[in-house]
Amino acid sequence: MKKILFLLLGLYFAVLLPAQTGANLYNEILDRTEWWRQDRFGMFIHFGLYSIPARGEWVKSVEKIPDEQYQIYFEEFNPVDYNPREWAKLAKKAGMKYAVLTAKHHEGFALWDTKLSDYKSTNTPCKRDIVREFLDAFRAEGLKVGLYFSVIDWHHPDYPKYDDMHHPMRGNEKFKKDKIDWDNYLAFMHGQVKELVTDYGHLDIMWFDFSYGDMKAEKWEAEKLIKMVRSYQPGIILNNRLLGDGTIENDRRVSVYGDFETPEQGVPDACIKDVDNRFLPWETCLTLNNSWGYSRIDQNWKSPESIIHTLVNCVSKDGNLLLNVGPDARGNIPESSIKILNKVGEWMRLNGESVYGCGSASAFEKPEWGFITQKGNKIYLHWTYPKIGHINMKGLGGKVKKVRLLRDGSEIQTESNWWGDGGTENNFYVNLNKPTYQYFPLPDDMDTVFEIELK
């Protein structure tokens, strides 16, 4: 009898309890990320001392710049045109619903008035608390706010140097015998995060970056850090980079280390799932050119069309898009970025319904002519290519109540097609050529959206 009791208890603690906790955790993550999964589209802002050299936010590491030399950027940092209200208006006009600013990047420079270091914007000619002003301005425009925080720090004396993979002083003999106090670094790093989550009001997102090699999870004392963050900001959404580097792995598990996955500069093939085949929240972060931090020479701008396709591609797989801007040393978002965002915004104004609150239409395969997004009994066909003829929506025959062009609400007539596989009941053709039967270009050059209401 006793044995059976022990066996049952063992079973409970070894199998049922963890499974239960896992399920609770998963539901918590879904609850927390609910608004964020509706909002779908956010602005990433990479801003720091690196905006002055204008060769990307990794410049200190790439060019192995010593502190003394990097110091000139600190001494001159003065973004006289910094006007976060304008940034917030731009984001809002582009259809973005939240924004994440680099409070501190790997260079270690704090854009807020940290009490734990002198290396901060308030000690430069700028004198301003960039983070506070950003938060106030974006909140005032009704956007949700988040902060990016680098757990890597290339300025702090207690961060590993000689043997580190990325530190600007890696392999530098001068630092070979350098003694560091890791506990001191951790106390400092946790302390800075604490300042951000306690002194700056309600934060919606905290975006940690990043882990590599052994520098991950326990090394950061990540569980303790996250507990602390959540104790002050219970509803805050956290990304997953205290654990991994955001690359897509085969062994994804729901964990306490973060709420969402972070693919970078690309869109996954399908919805991201965990080992138990459950959908996981995710967000692709993407640059508008090829640089996160401001770069003067990088003029490889993506087209507004490719941005819209990427956003829709993400949504069609239940994901978000965090689109980056890199303001220059004066605090201006580059003109080319503004132009792209304004174009995206024009499209979003007329077609946002096919993005916000939408997710994958899992009952359908991705069609060759574009993307499908869905919200309840509404299915949105995003016709991106080819821009002629008609499109077939397999599987919808007989199930459709009506079809409208989303951008103007006009009726779209449908038909079956005499030369293809039109006879099959399964097929359902949206034919813009009707009723005139003359070829004409699609109403929207970038992505023409049809709203299908199901019966």
Cβ closest to ligand GLC, residue 58 vs residue 279: 58
Report the DSSP beta bridge partners of residue 104: 110, 149
Q: Kindly state the smallest distance separating residue 207's Cβ from ligand GLC, in Å.
A: 8
SS3 label, residue 2: helix
Cβ closest to ligand GLC, residue 282 vs residue 428: 282
Contact pattern for ligand GLC over residues 251 through 280, marking x by CB under 6 A: -------------x----------------
Please give the size of the binding site for ligand GLC, defined by CB under 6 A.
8
Cβ closest to ligand GLC, residue 211 vs residue 384: 211
Cβ closest to ligand GLC, residue 45 vs residue 446: 45
Cβ closest to ligand GLC, residue 47 vs residue 58: 58
Residues 36-95, interacting with ligand GLC (CB under 6 A): 46, 57-58
Cβ closest to ligand GLC, residue 111 vs residue 393: 111
* DSSP assignment of 370-410: EEEEEETTEEEEEE-S--SSEEE-TT-TT-EEEEEETTT--
Contact pattern for ligand GLC over residues 352 through 381, marking x by CB under 6 A: ------------------------------
* DSSP assignment of 176-216: TT----HHHHHHHHHHHHHHHHHHS---SEEEEE--BTTBS
Contact flag: residue 285 with ligand GLC (CB under 6 A):
yes
Of 70, 98, 210, 428, the one binding ligand GLC (CB under 6 A) is: 210
Diameter of the chain by CA atoms? 83
Report how far residue 42's alpha carbon sits from residue 323's, in angstroms, rounded to the nearest whole number: 6
The candidate with the shortest Cα–Cα distance to 259, out of 226, 292, 214, 216, is 226
* DSSP assignment of 100-139: EEEEE-TT--BSS--SS-S-BGGGSTT-S-HHHHHHHHHH
* Four-residue CA torsion sign, 373, 374, 379, 380: negative
Of 82, 188, 257, 292, the one binding ligand GLC (CB under 6 A) is: 292
Of 107, 164, 209, 283, the one binding ligand GLC (CB under 6 A) is: 209
Interface residues with ligand GLC (CB under 6 A)? 46, 57-58, 209-210, 264, 285, 292
